Amino acid sequence: MEGEKKAYPFAIVGFFVTDKEATESFRKDVSPEDVEQIKNLLKNLIFAEGVDIAIAPFVVPPEQVDNTLHELADLIFSPEGKDN
């Protein structure tokens, strides 16, 4: 008998940079099959065998961004050679 399965939240944090509005930055023709391909890519490249995942892409409103995300932004966008 297998052990009890548990669900754990995970996040992959990133940024997109554009002069467009956020709602205008995403393709409108992304199919369920496209999302399934992305899910399988993440599953196969990041997680160990036997782990299932589910994904739900969305944009986090700026007012909900916490300090960790700000620190990530500073790291990514800071000039080279700048001491943090």
Q: Is 55 contained in some domain?
A: yes
Give helix then strand counts, H and E, for the chain: 2, 0
Overall number of domains in the chain? 1
Smallest Cα–Cα separation from 57: which of 77, 79, 42, 72? 42
**Structure token pair of residue 3:** 């052990």
pLDDT of residue 26: 87
Total count of residues recorded for the chain: 84
Does 36 have pLDDT greater than 90? yes
Q: Is 46 contained in some domain?
A: yes
**Structure token pair of residue 77:** 């966008």
Q: Is 5 contained in some domain?
A: no
Q: Is 6 contained in some domain?
A: no
Q: Which domain holds residue 40?
A: 29-59
Q: Is 45 contained in some domain?
A: yes
Its pTM stands at: 0.61
Q: Is 50 contained in some domain?
A: yes
User: CA-CA distance, 7 to 3, in Å (whole number)?
Assistant: 13
